[in-house]
Amino acid sequence: MRNFTEEEPRGLESAGRRPGSGWLVWAGHSHRLEWVCCLCPGSGPEQQWGTGCLRNWQSLPIYMGLTWTLWAPPQVLALCHIAVGQQMNLHWLHKIALMVILASTVVAMSAVAQLWEDEWEVLLISLQGTAPFLHVGALAAVTVLSWIVAGQFARTERTSSQVIILCTFFTVVFALYLVPLTISSPCIMEKKDLGPKPALIGHRGAPMLAPEHTLMSFRKALEQKLYGLQADITISLDGVPFLMHDATLRRTTNVEEEFPELARRPASMLNWTTLQRLNAGQWFLKTDPFWTASSLSPSDYREAQNQSICSLAELLELAKGNATLLLNLRDPPREHPYRSSFLNITLEAVLRSGFPQHQVLWLPNKQRTLVRKVAPGFQQTSGLKEAVTSLRRGHIQRLNLRYTQVSSQELRDYASWNLSVNLYTINAPWLFSLMWCAGVPSVTSDNSHTLSQVPSPLWIMPPDEYCLMWVTADLISFTLIVGIFVLQNYHLIRWRLGGIRSYNPEQIMLSAAVRRTSRDVSIMKEKLIFSEISDGVEVSDELSVCSDNSYDTYANSTTTPVGPRGGGSHAKTLTERSGR
């Protein structure tokens, strides 16, 4: 199992989405730039926020969406043709285009499946919040499609084919009716059993409203009266702990403009004096990672432009008595002079600041015994999912896990052992609602300003009401499907016994009106071919061709040659050509 000792942004919770926007497939997790960590392997320590890579990969879902949007109308028309029994004559260009779309979609989905291998769990979680409603939508879709299936059933000549169509369709229908037996959603519960709203921890402050890990970001988070703040701590070359998530300064500062020669150097290999000269806010306004920069007020915009790197001491002073701190340490390189004493220096800085020990969630897994002795009030927090006995042995009080790592049952088990669980990174309201229904004590979020305004889960349904909705929808669907099949067969019987009818050439093979003998079909095909190749015809008298079974009659005019090319009359009547 991978060691999640820090809040790694690995998901696509709200990847590429504006806060609060709806989800098709992108209703997953985190924020648009964390998406890049899945898409850009090997692009460096700051790969999780590389906007260039993001723009390249954004074309994938855009391409797929535009492709299916362009070809949706022909697909709908094709279904309409089948429904009314019309022949479909696709142009060769359409056939090639459809094959290209199919192949490109398969390739794109394969690439996504490989790049986002871990994210299939997000899809399963999303179904917990949407499956009850997707089921109703699927029932509506299969009920509408039953008209086409019933029509195909009515047009089929062989009884064996009819049995196959009927059995296949109703197998799918009844399987769909029983799908709710497999649906398990934490929001299907009695309202009285709903627990308190999860506490919110600002991920690096309020990164949607201000540059991450800056004093402005933490102030914005405190204005929302959040439960806590999360911060990543590293140490400068001269031993000053400061806040920085990435290994280098390229993403969140203007180091490439101020000190180009230091741009690729690890952030911890610069002294504090140099670090203070860098601007840590302009990147936020330029790259606009959450599409929120335009919503800033003029004063906030100016403040964001002038942010600098924040030290640990500044954060401790700001948050003292106002919020809990979830602290994670990012080790400096091996050649760093303070690598071995980094933890001790950080620990001393926290204790020296007078920050209340009980408000510190200590995440580093190193030297826990020493930390417990020096700071017994710290809440020991683990990023590892382990057995309860192992956690109790290590005096762990809290767990900090990715939301895909823990189930509702495990949450209840941890709670029974007095272990609190914090889940990251929850940005979408629908996902926050699921966590609320599941009884999660706290979550880490970039979108805390939105989640703090969520008054209740987006939906909650008692089990009895859900069963009633499920059974009612199934009964309505089944009644409509049976009625559609009866209606289609009623027309078939009426058309069979209706006596004389005229053919529609476009419905020779697909019409549900009548069943014709192969000889009748051959005569009609010959008539159509002959009418195309004849040069100059005029209507003379009416030719009647009656089918041998007397079920239907075709009436049309014979053709008489008028001024044939090459001289002489070479046209024959349809009766003569057919040998009748």
Decide which of 100 and 4 is more confident.
100
Domain match, 322 and 229 both: yes
Residue 135 confidence (pLDDT): 95
Alpha helices in 332-462 (DSSP H): 342-353, 368-374, 388-393, 408-416, 429-438, 448-451
Q: Would you call the peptide bond into 573 cis, given omega within 30 degrees of 0 as the criterion?
A: no
Residue 335: band (very low, low, confident or very high) from pLDDT cuts 50, 70, 90 = very high
Q: Alpha-carbon distance 521 to 527, whole Å?
A: 10
Nearest CA-CA partner of 380 in 354, 398, 406: 398
Q: Alpha-carbon distance 85 to 565, whole Å?
A: 39
Decide which of 22 and 389 is more confident.
389
Average pLDDT of the segment spanning 370-394: 94
Q: What is the pLDDT of residues 222-271, one digit of tens each?
A: 999 999 999 999 999 999 999 999 999 999 999 999 999 999 999 999 99
Residue 69 confidence (pLDDT): 65
Has residue 225 been placed in a domain? yes
Decide which of 152 and 425 is more confident.
425
pLDDT at 464 > cutoff 70: yes
Paired with 544 in beta bridges are 555
Residue 11: band (very low, low, confident or very high) from pLDDT cuts 50, 70, 90 = very low
Number of domains into which the chain is organized: 3
563: left (phi over 0), alpha (psi -120 to 50) or beta: left
Has residue 91 been placed in a domain? no
Average pLDDT of the segment spanning 542-566: 43
Q: What is the pLDDT of residues 16-65, one digit of tens each?
A: 333 333 333 333 333 333 333 333 333 333 333 333 343 444 455 555 56
- CA 159 vs CA 168, 171, 551: distances in Å: 14, 18, 20
Has residue 259 been placed in a domain? no
Domain match, 388 and 243 both: yes
Let me know if 283 is exposed, middle or buried by CB neighbors in 10 A (0-12, 13-18, 19+). Answer: buried
Residue 39 confidence (pLDDT): 34
- CA 296 vs CA 17, 214, 285: distances in Å: 18, 16, 10
Domain match, 401 and 498 both: no
Judged by average pLDDT, the poorest of 118-127, 374-383, 406-415, 566-575 is 566-575
* SS3 (DSSP) at 2: coil
Q: What angle do CA 124, 130, 133 make, to 5 degrees?
A: 140
Domain match, 155 and 233 both: no
Confirm if 377 and 356 have CB atoms less than 8 A apart.
yes
Average pLDDT of the segment spanning 574-579: 43
pLDDT at 85 > cutoff 50: yes
pLDDT at 563 > cutoff 90: no
pLDDT at 536 > cutoff 60: no
Domain match, 344 and 435 both: yes
DSSP for 65-80, written as a single string: HHHHHHHHHHHHHHHH
Let me know if 133 is exposed, middle or buried by CB neighbors in 10 A (0-12, 13-18, 19+). Answer: exposed
Judged by average pLDDT, the poorest of 309-313, 330-334, 501-505, 540-544 is 540-544
**Which residue range is the domain that position 152 belongs to?**
129-185+462-503
pLDDT at 545 > cutoff 50: no
Domain match, 420 and 478 both: no
Residue 526 confidence (pLDDT): 61
Q: Alpha-carbon distance 125 to 424, whole Å?
A: 14
Nearest CA-CA partner of 489 in 9, 152, 21: 152
* SS3 (DSSP) at 423: strand
Has residue 570 been placed in a domain? yes
What are residue 564's phi and psi, to 5 degrees? -65, 150
Please give the structure tokens belonging to residue 14: 């709200």
One-letter amino acid of 201: I
Q: Alpha-carbon distance 67 to 419, whole Å?
A: 49
Instruction: Scan for tokens 């089918």, then name that residue.
Output: 547
Confirm if 50 and 36 have CB atoms less than 8 A apart.
yes
Confirm if 40 and 53 have CB atoms less than 8 A apart.
yes
CATH code, 375: 3.20.20.190
Has residue 32 been placed in a domain? no
Has residue 63 been placed in a domain? no
Residue 92 confidence (pLDDT): 80
Confirm if 574 and 523 have CB atoms less than 8 A apart.
yes
Please give the structure tokens belonging to residue 367: 């030297």
Residue 442 confidence (pLDDT): 97
Q: What is the pLDDT of residues 162-184, one digit of tens each?
A: 899 999 999 999 999 999 999 99
Residue 281 confidence (pLDDT): 96
Residue 549 confidence (pLDDT): 45
Residue 554 confidence (pLDDT): 41
Average pLDDT of the segment spanning 379-389: 94
Residue 153 confidence (pLDDT): 86
pLDDT at 508 > cutoff 50: no
Domain match, 482 and 546 both: no
| Mean pLDDT (the chain, rounded) | 79
Residue 494 confidence (pLDDT): 61
Residue 449 confidence (pLDDT): 96
Decide which of 188 and 544 is more confident.
188
Domain match, 362 and 422 both: yes
Has residue 348 been placed in a domain? yes
pLDDT at 204 > cutoff 70: yes
Which uninterrupted H or E stretch holds 380?
strand 379-382
Average pLDDT of the segment spanning 444-459: 96
Decide which of 408 and 62 is more confident.
408
Domain match, 241 and 378 both: yes
Domain match, 483 and 539 both: no
Average pLDDT of the segment spanning 277-290: 96
Residue 544 confidence (pLDDT): 44
Q: What is the pLDDT of residues 290-328, one digit of tens each?
A: 999 999 999 999 999 999 999 999 999 999 999 999 999
Q: What percent of the chain has pLDDT over 70?
A: 69
pLDDT at 504 > cutoff 90: no
Residue 162 confidence (pLDDT): 87
Q: Alpha-carbon distance 392 to 399, whole Å?
A: 12
Query: Which parts of 425-552 are beta strand (E)?
Result: 442-445, 537-546
Q: What angle do CA 559, 565, 566 make, to 5 degrees?
A: 130
pLDDT at 542 > cutoff 70: no
Has residue 93 been placed in a domain? no
Domain match, 353 and 225 both: yes
pLDDT at 408 > cutoff 50: yes
Residue 57 confidence (pLDDT): 44
Domain match, 329 and 415 both: yes
Last residue of a domain, one of 414, 429, 451: 451
